[in-house]
Amino acid sequence: MSNHLLSLLIWLPILGAVPVLLAGGQRPNAARWISLLVAVATFAASLALVHVYDPSTGTMQVGENLNWIASVGIHYSLAVDGISVALIALTSFTTILVIVGAWEVIAVRTHQYMAAMLVLEGLMVGVFCATDALLFYVFFEAMLIPMFIIIGIWGGPRRVYATLKFFIYTFFGSIFMLVGLIYLYSKAHTFDIATLAHLPLSMTEQSWLFFAFLLGFAIKVPMVPVHTWLPDAHVEAPTGGSVVLAAVMLKIGGYGFLRFSLPIVPDASEHFAPLVIVLSLIAVVYIGYVALAQEDMKKLVAYSSIAHMGFVTLGIFIAFMLVREHNNVQAAHLGMQGAMIQMISHGFISGAMFTCIGVLYDRMHTRQIKDYGGVINVMPWFGLFYVLFAMANSGLPGTSGFVGEFMVILAAFQANPWIALFAAFTLIIGAAYTLWMVKRVLWGEVTNHHVAEMKDINARETFVLAAFAAAVLLFGIWPQPLVHLMDASVGQLVQKLAYSKV
Amino acid sequence: MPTFNDFLILLPEAYLTVAACVILLMDAFLKGGQRVAIHWLSIIVLLVGAWLVIDGQPATAVSGFSGMFIRDPVAEILKVFSLLTTALMFIYSRGYLRDRNINEGEYYALTLFAVIGIMVLVSAGSLVTVYLGLELLTLSSYALVALNRDSKLSSEAAIKYFVLGALASGMLLYGMSMIYGATHSLDLATILHVQNVEWRNLMLFGVVFAIVGIGFKLGAAPFHMWIPDVYQGAPTAVTIFIGTAQKIAAFGMAYRLLDSGLGAYAHEWRMMLAVLAVLSLAIGNLLAIVQTNLKRLLAYSTISHMGFLLLGLVEANPAGYSAAMFYAISYALTSAAAFGIILAMSRAGFECEEIDDFKGLNQRSPWFAFLMMLVMFSLAGVPPLFGFFGKLLVLQSAIDAGFLWLAVVGAVFAIIGLYYYLRVVKVMYFDAPVEGTDVRAQPDMPLRFVLSLNALALLALGIAWGPLFAWCQRAFGITA
């Protein structure tokens, strides 16, 4: 059983989508219940994975290896380390909440929506456990298809523009990565990531490959200046689409850096680390200011996502600087650890923020901040959750938002206090744009009769928000289990940083 | 003197020739309702032909008629897939032909003769056989394009096709005369092994003209002018033939001429093919963006796909040829499904070929919208569909051949190409159906069933493409 646990995690939701499509055409309720069942089963399987996984060594585990295309040497090989396990659990957790969140909200072609979500879940899990570069690429790209459909069918007024931009932008980045991977294959005659990590590469080769990977993953994260698809995609996507996009899909960019850039082109990564660090700081500071100016709530959270993901890339590449230039392995470990925790925590927080906005949107059909005001007077329970997530988004200690950012800033301080100073700006700007939004939406008098007619959250919405809240608080107050899960794997990654290929 | 063995080698072709004549006769004598027999018989004839090809396949390459006709594993694969895609096309076309009162008998007979042309072409061991097969194929095709006599568009397309095709044949023949002049031989194997060609420049001119002929047949830019008009003007039941079996044939012709005959000049023709590839990628993808007619869009998409196919050929070794052959097969199967869906949606008096006709298809025929989505993503090269792996292999060929820049160009144009394929998906899924229209698939069960299998095969072969590629590799002598 545990031998095929990863395959189960990938294929259960994908194949589970088939009965949803078949049964749900005329009976949306059947589609809802079957997809919930599949999602819960997948979540259970991911908990089993957490249980089976042995965090003490941090190596790749629970592996499977099948010869996929023998004549070319492409393998269907899967394995996970602590980081993958955490991300897989995040994925399956989010999917349940997205399906519950869409229960009545998605009224047209419900079965197709649910099926697309399940397929998306399976493919994302596949991305997190593929250890063959081509298999990774297949999942990485295939993932775009369901998301394209989700934004395009159930999205807002400019959905077609947004979804085309999303698809083409991402494809643009990844196809160059594919060329890079084929180049590596023609040298090593394998797509196995672990073997590629030991392939000697000259600095010129590494530099080209680094930019091929950077293009692919920076668009996914997204980093400045290739972030422009994200606000459009988020604003137009249905709530569930935004949640998955922010909570899981963006993490795939950060994850890609860890799996590809870091072990395969370490010297080029070190050489270009300052570039990535500067781009990350621009994301943190400049995009933070951009978020401040937004009048659309979803756009505001979308920009705040870019700023927060800046910490992920900062944490990963600051580790290079610390190991290679300062020989400070401990701080590098801290930075990398912080980046990983930031990924998971941002998954919960951004997912929760988008769910909150979805709740408001379902009632008012507007996302403009100016249309709201005094919501707390009519929706006190909702206000409770909204404030909690806003606090987490601005990095309040005691929430998971604080832990990762604080660790990254601490690590950055040991590399260069200036970097830490700029990174720490987020504590001010993040608080400013989030709390200002809360002020304008929640507090004050009820501004218009539409707001006055709003009903407080129902049991279903409460369940979704409470689940997110529990995760945010749990990992804020007691991050130890998460740290423990990933610690040894992060240690392994940090060791690889020092390994030079030239 | 030809021996009995020579004829044995030729068995599938001989059988098909007899069968085509029988079908022609049946067309003359059968009346009304009995004519449905011609349809099924033609399909059976093709399938039996494929069986004969596989069953009688000798273990190694054999040649007959003093080396003019070669039966080797490469020819076997190309023949099998030409016959199979033609059988698919017959199944898809029946309702279309009936609704338009096109003479079915002529359609089947002409197509069968064209298929015989393909089989001779891909088995060619001499310049004469290449020309013979090519002319049998193209002359039948000209007539097929003009089959819908009452349509002005169809006649115009046929004349364009004929004039440009004749020109290309002339060029090819001229090139062949130069090659003959330089090597004193028409036999491809002899040409390959002629040492110290006296008239090297003459030979190179011959190579150039051969490439013109091949470029025309493939529809690679700058010899693509006929493609859009012929694709659009020809009855869809014929366009599908040009888009599937003929592409496989064109690959076979390129392989026979360039590798079996002119392999010694690979260094020269590789560069020429690289130029053709870049032009085809650019022209095909950029012009496809502005098309509103789906058949025309697929025509420009063909041009770009031939650009990708050429990326495999530039490697000029067995690995590259097997990648290019795999690409040709993957393209033929995908394109068969694409035109199959257009055929399935068309009815009497209504050609479902404008992109706008597909608006909101997901609300009316979700299953066919899904199949078309698979086809579009396969054409665009999005994993896990079949088309992606074809692209992967040819890009790899280009990189292995040292044409890294060509692979990057291919990647850039793949992104541009993505846009227009996505536009079709967008129209089907995100737009509302046009009021007052009712675009639905024909209730023809064999068509629905086979078309579904065809499109699902794109997904299945995307997941399990190993055996097919291994078969292609073995044909070129690569053993894993």
Q: Where are chain A's structural domains?
A: 265-497
Do B342 and B353 touch, CB atoms closer than 8 A?
yes
Q: Which of residues 411-450 of B touch A (CB under 8 A)?
A: 411, 414-415, 418-419, 422-423, 425-426, 429-430
Is the bond leading into B384 cis (omega within 30 degrees of zero)? yes
Quick one: which of A178, A170, A177 has its CA closest to A145? A170
* A41-45, A125-129, B432-436, B475-479, range with the lowest pLDDT: B432-436
Residue B403: closest C-alpha in chain A: A183
Structure-token pair, residue A409:
């800033």
Condensed to tens digits (0 to 9), the pLDDT of residues A265-321 reads 999 998 999 999 999 999 999 999 999 999 999 999 999 999 999 999 999 999 988
**ipTM of predicted complex:** 0.90
What is the arithmetic mean of pLDDT over A164-183? 92
Structure-token pair, residue B460:
């299945």
Asked if the model's pLDDT at residue B127 lies above 90, the reply is yes
Strand-pairing partners, residue B350, are: B347
- Please state whether beta strands A74-80 and B69-71 pair in parallel, antiparallel, or not at all (unpaired): unpaired
Partner residue facing A68 (CB), from B366, B395, B466: B466
Structure-token pair, residue A64:
């499977």
B407 close contact with A: CB closer than 8 A: yes
Which backbone phi and psi does B126 adopt, to 5 degrees?
A: -150, 160
Residues in A touching B465 (Cβ below 8 Å): 69
Residue B259 and residue B278: Cα distance in Å, rounded?
Answer: 21
Asked if the model's pLDDT at residue A167 lies above 50, the reply is yes
Compute how many other C-beta atoms are within 10 angstroms of the C-beta atom of residue B154: 21
8 Å CB contact of A168 and B422: yes
Quick one: which of A171, A172, A166 has its CA closest to A152? A166
Structure-token pair, residue A502:
């030239």
Residue B465: closest C-alpha in chain A: A69
Q: Look at residue B211 in the predicted model and tell me its pLDDT.
A: 94
Instruction: Collect all residues with Cβ–Cβ distance below 8 Å to A44 and sequence separation of at least 6.
Output: none
Residue B82 and residue B84: Cα distance in Å, rounded?
Answer: 6
B181 close contact with A: CB closer than 8 A: no
**Long-range contact list for B94-98, CB < 8 A, 24+ apart?**
B94/B39, B94/B444, B94/B447, B95/B343, B95/B442, B95/B444, B95/B447, B96/B235, B96/B236, B96/B237, B96/B343, B96/B346, B97/B235, B97/B237
Asked if the model's pLDDT at residue A128 lies above 50, the reply is yes
Quick one: which of A251, A254, A228 has its CA closest to A165? A228
For residue A360, count CB atoms less than 10 angstroms from its CB and return exposed for 0-12, middle for 13-18, buried for 19 or more.
buried
| Nearest chain A Cα distance for residue B428, angstroms | 10
- Rounded to a whole number of angstroms, the CA Rg of chain A reads 22
Strand-pairing partners, residue A64, are: A78
What is the arithmetic mean of pLDDT over B180-206? 87
What is the arithmetic mean of pLDDT over A122-130? 95
Residue B155 and residue A349: Cα distance in Å, rounded?
Answer: 64
Partner residue facing B399 (CB), from A72, A175, A186: A186
Do A351 and A94 touch, CB atoms closer than 8 A?
yes
Instruction: Collect all residues with Cβ–Cβ distance below 8 Å to A60 and sequence separation of at least 6.
Output: A79, A80, A81, A131, A194
Q: Look at residue B424 in the predicted model and tell me its pLDDT.
A: 93
Residue B377: closest C-alpha in chain A: A145
8 Å CB contact of B414 and A72: no
Asked if the model's pLDDT at residue A239 lies above 80, the reply is yes
Instruction: Collect all residues with Cβ–Cβ distance below 8 Å to B277 and sequence separation of at least 6.
Output: B220, B307, B308, B310, B311, B314, B406, B409, B410
8 Å CB contact of B430 and A152: yes
Condensed to tens digits (0 to 9), the pLDDT of residues B209-257 reads 999 999 999 999 899 999 999 999 999 999 999 999 999 999 999 999 9
B384 close contact with A: CB closer than 8 A: yes
8 Å CB contact of A185 and B388: no
Residue A106 and residue A151: Cα distance in Å, rounded?
Answer: 12
Q: Look at residue B480 in the predicted model and tell me its pLDDT.
A: 62
Residue B410 and residue B391: Cα distance in Å, rounded?
Answer: 9
CA angle A354, A349, A314 (to 5 degrees): 115
Quick one: which of A134, A124, A54, A133 has its CA closest to A92? A124
Partner residue facing A175 (CB), from B400, B414, B469: B414
8 Å CB contact of A138 and B384: yes
Residue B218 and residue B281: Cα distance in Å, rounded?
Answer: 13
Chain A interface, Cβ < 8 Å to B: 25, 68-72, 109, 112, 134, 137-138, 141-142, 144-145, 148-149, 152-153, 159-160, 163-164, 167-168, 171-172, 175-176, 178-179, 182-183, 185-186
Distances B245 to A488, B128, B148, B330, B338 between C-alpha atoms, Å: 56, 21, 21, 11, 14
Structure-token pair, residue A185:
């294959």
Condensed to tens digits (0 to 9), the pLDDT of residues B102-124 reads 888 889 999 999 999 999 999 99
What is the arithmetic mean of pLDDT over A409-431? 90
Which backbone phi and psi does B441 adopt, to 5 degrees?
A: -75, 150
Residue A163: closest C-alpha in chain B: B426
Asked if the model's pLDDT at residue A444 lies above 60, the reply is yes
Asked if the model's pLDDT at residue A156 lies above 60, the reply is yes
Coil/strand/helix, residue B70: strand
8 Å CB contact of B430 and A159: yes
Do B119 and B133 touch, CB atoms closer than 8 A?
yes
Quick one: which of A499, A492, A479, A477 has its CA closest to A86? A479
Partner residue facing B469 (CB), from A72, A144, A171: A72
List, as one string, the DSSP characters of A38-58: HHHHHHHHHHHHHHH--TTT-
Name the average pLDDT for chain B. Answer: 91
Asked if the model's pLDDT at residue B1 lies above 70, the reply is no
Condensed to tens digits (0 to 9), the pLDDT of residues B292-333 reads 999 999 999 999 999 999 999 999 999 999 999 999 999 999
Partner residue facing A186 (CB), from B366, B400, B480: B400
Distances B26 to B34, B91, B103, B381 between C-alpha atoms, Å: 10, 19, 13, 43
Condensed to tens digits (0 to 9), the pLDDT of residues A49-87 reads 999 998 888 888 888 888 888 888 889 999 999 999 999
Helices B445-463 and B386-400 meet at what angle, rounded to 10?
A: 40
Structure-token pair, residue A53:
């996984």
User: Binning pLDDT at 50, 70 and 90, where does residue A138 land?
Assistant: very high
Name the average pLDDT for chain A. Answer: 91
Asked if the model's pLDDT at residue A1 lies above 50, the reply is no
* A244-253, A436-445, B56-65, B403-412, range with the lowest pLDDT: B56-65
Asked if the model's pLDDT at residue A430 lies above 50, the reply is yes
Q: Look at residue B122 in the predicted model and tell me its pLDDT.
A: 95
To test the contact with chain A by mutation, choose from B409, B415, B472, B478 the residue with the greatest count of A C-beta atoms within 10 A, namely B415
